[in-house]
A and B are shown apart, each in its own frame.
Chain A
Amino acid sequence: MTTGDRIREIREKRGLTQEKLAKMAHISKGFLCDVENNKRNIGSKGILSIANSLGASVDYLLSGEVKENIENEQIIIPPDLSQAAEDMNLSYSDALDLLKTFNSAVARRSNKYRKSLTVDEWKKFYAAIKEVFK
Chain B
Amino acid sequence: MTTRLRQSTKIWKLAKDLGIKTSNDPVSDILNYCEKRIKKLLKEATDCHSLSDFLSWIAGKLGTSFEEIYSDNDLMKIKEKYLKQGEKIFVTLDQELSKNMPGITYKKSNREPWEFPFVSIIDCRGKNVKRAYYTKWHEVAHLLVLTDQSRLCFTRTLHLPEKDPEEQMVDIIAGKFGFYSPFIKPHIKSEISFEKIDSLRQSLCPDASNQSSLIGFVKAWPEPCILLLCKAGLKMSEIRQAMQTSFFDTPAPVLRAIKVTANEAAKEMNIKIFKNMRVPERSIIYDVHNCITDYAEAFEDLSWWKTSDGIILSKCKILVKAKSYWGDTHVLIIPKSYNS
Contacts and interface: CB of A to CB of B under 8 A. Distances in A.
Given A103-B149, A113-B155, A69 B109 contact: yes
A56 B105 contact: no
Given A52-B65, A114-B152, A109 B47 contact: no
Q: Which of B87, B92, B111 has the most CB of A within 10 A?
A: B92
Given A57-B117, A104-B106, A128-B92, A113 B163 contact: yes
Contacts of B167: 109-111
Contacts of B47: 43-45
A23 interface: no
Given A48-B57, A106-B106, A107-B143, A114 B148 contact: no
Nearest to A72: B148
Interface string A64-104: 00111100111010100000000000000000000011111
A106 B89 contact: no
A107 B154 contact: no
8 contacts: A56-B114, A60-B113, A69-B117, A74-B150, A103-B153, A108-B105, A110-B100, A112-B163
Contact of B149 (A72, A111, A125): A72
Q: Is the interface of A mostly helix, strand, loop or mixed?
A: mixed
A101 B170 CA distance: 23
Interface in B47-104: 47-48, 53, 56-57, 60-61, 63, 65, 83, 86-89, 91-92, 96, 100-104
Nearest to B47: A43
B313 to A, nearest CB: 33
B45 A44 contact: yes
Contacts of A52: 60, 65
Contacts of A131: 91
A57 to B, nearest CB: 5
Contact of B91 (A56, A66, A69, A129): A129
A107 B104 contact: yes
A57 B88 CA distance: 21
B191 interface: no
A109 B139 contact: yes
Contact of B156 (A55, A66, A68, A116): A116
Given A69-B117, A109-B104, A58 B60 contact: yes
A132 B120 CA distance: 22
A10 interface: yes
Nearest to B143: A107
Q: How large is the interface on A (under 10, 10 to 19, 20 to 34, 35 or more residues)?
A: 35 or more
Interface of A: 6, 10, 43-45, 48, 51-52, 55-60, 62, 66-69, 72-74, 76, 78, 100-116, 125, 128-129, 131-133
A109 B116 contact: no
Given A48-B56, A48-B60, A62 B44 contact: yes
B104 A108 contact: yes
A66 B65 CA distance: 16
B166 to A, nearest CB: 9
B101 A128 contact: no
Q: How large is the interface on B (under 10, 10 to 19, 20 to 34, 35 or more residues)?
A: 35 or more
B102 A109 contact: yes
A55 B146 contact: no
B138 interface: yes
Contact of B116 (A44, A57, A103, A115): A57
Nearest to B174: A109
A129 B93 CA distance: 12
A45 B114 contact: no
A60 B47 CA distance: 19
A122 to B, nearest CB: 12
A108 B83 contact: no
Given A109-B138, A129-B91, A104 B107 contact: yes
Contact of B105 (A6, A43, A103, A105): A105
Nearest to A110: B101
A15 B311 CA distance: 72
B308 interface: no
B329 interface: no
Given A60-B113, A109-B103, 13 more contacts: A44-B47, A52-B65, A55-B115, A57-B63, A73-B148, A101-B109, A103-B149, A106-B142, A106-B152, A107-B139, A107-B142, A110-B167, A111-B163
Contacts of A129: 88, 91
